[in-house]
Amino acid sequence: MLTTPVQSPEEAAGNATFDALLWALSRPGMARTLPEPSDSPIIDALIDRECKVHCNDPLLVPQILRSGANQIDIVGADHVFLAVLDDIAALDDVAKGSDLYPDDGATVVLQVTLDRGPRVQLSGPGVDGTLALRIGGLPAGFWQRRAALSRYPMGFDLFLRDGAQVVGIPRSTKVEVL
């Protein structure tokens, strides 16, 4: 009979990364820790040749190429990695899916500073009542633009990373700037 396969280090990292992402998205605003302080484990855990990726971080491009994913413009990308987000107009082009297929809405990974910056209050699925936290490093008007662009269940889902810490904000979360 078969012997139990051994978990490789890559497999273990993918598993741990996804655990962090799933937990973070299920509890918006509560940070989880990635195996290393970069977007790299997120790419390894989620991205392969079935994906269409937009990435403006030149350091990540070789890894995305290796994954076999298509690199495309932000329009039509299912995964968006933005090391720098200067202009919130970029959000207009992020895929929001449709009422028929909300899953076509993109997953967007941004770099932020957690525990510093403007205070926001979250509510919605995954939040026990309300939760307030500080999220810095996003351009002014970001949350207002997100709200204006989302028509639930259409929208996009955010992972906000600061070092190895990641916070998830799905489209179902209501974000108020305090």
Partner 1 sequence: MAYVATRGGERAIEQSERLFRSDMGRIDQARVAELRHALPYLVDRVMGEASLYDEDLAALALAQTGGELYEVVLLLRAWRTTQPRLSVAAPIQQKDLFTHRRISAAFKDIPGGQVLGPTLDYSHRILATDVLTGTPFVPNNVVPSARAAPAHQPSVSAWQAENELLDLPPVEPVQGNDIPDLTREPLLFPSKRAHTLQSLARAETGGVLALGYSAMRGYGQAHPTVNELRLAEAEVMVKHPRGTSFSAGRVKVSQAEVVSKKGEKLELGFAATLGWNEVKCIAAATLDLNTKGAAKGTATEEEFFLYHTEGVESSGFCIHFKLPHYVTFQSSLDAMRDAKAKKAAKCMEPAQ
Partner 2 sequence: MSLKSLTKPWQPMSYGFLDASAKRELRRKMLKSVAVPGCQMPYASREVPMARGWGTGGLQVSLTLLNPQLRVKVIDQGADDSVNAASIRRFLALVSGAPVTLDTLGADLIQSRHRIPEEIMREDQILVLQVPNPEPLRSVQPNMSIARQMHADADYGRMWLQLYEQIVRSGRVMQGAGYPSLVNGRHVMTPSPIPRWDVPKLNMAKHLTILSAGREKRIFAVPPYTRVKPLVFDDVPYRVEDHGGLTCSRSTAKGFFMNEIPQVDGSSTYEVSDSSYGVKTIQKRDGDAVQFGETWYNDGEMTQ
Positions that interact with partner 2 (CB under 8 A): 2, 4-8, 10-12, 14-16, 18-19, 21-22, 25-27, 45-51, 66, 78, 98-103, 105, 107, 124-128, 152-153, 155, 157, 170-172
Residue 172 binding partner per list partner 2, partner 1, none, with a CB distance cut-off of 5 to 8 Å that depends on partner kind: partner 2
Q: In the complex, what is the shortest distance from the CB of residue 107 to partner 1, in angstroms, rounded to a whole number?
A: 17
Residue 105 class from Cβ within 10 Å (0-12 exposed, 13-18 middle, 19+ buried)?
A: buried
Nearest distance in Å: CB 126, partner 2: 4
Question: SS3 for 133?
Answer: strand
Which one, 49 or 73, has the nearer CB to partner 2? Answer: 49
Which two structure tokens, joined as six digits, stand for 72? 């495309």
- CB of 79 within 8 A of CB of 54? yes
Distance CA 166, CA 163 (A): 8
Least spacing, CB of residue 140 vs partner 2, in Å = 25
Site for partner 1 in 63-82 (CB under 8 A): 68
In the bound state with partner 2, the residue whose beta carbon lies nearer, of 117 and 133, is: 133
**Alpha carbon of residue 36 to chain centroid:** 16
Q: Tokens 């351009």 label which residue?
A: 139
Q: Binders of partner 1 among 25-54, rule CB under 8 A?
A: 49-50
105 pairs with which residues across the strands? 96
Of 23 and 113, the one with the shorter C-beta distance to partner 2 is 23
Q: With CB cut-offs between 5 and 8 Å by kind, which of partner 2, partner 1, none does residue 93 bind?
A: none
Please tell me whether residue 35 adopts helix, strand or coil conformation. coil
Closest separation in Å from C-beta 99 to partner 2: 4
Strands (E), the chain: 32-33, 52-55, 70-71, 79-82, 107-111, 113-123, 130-136, 157-162, 165-169, 174-177
CB of 24 to partner 1, least distance (A): 26
- Chain contacts with partner 1 (rule: CB under 8 A): 49-50, 68
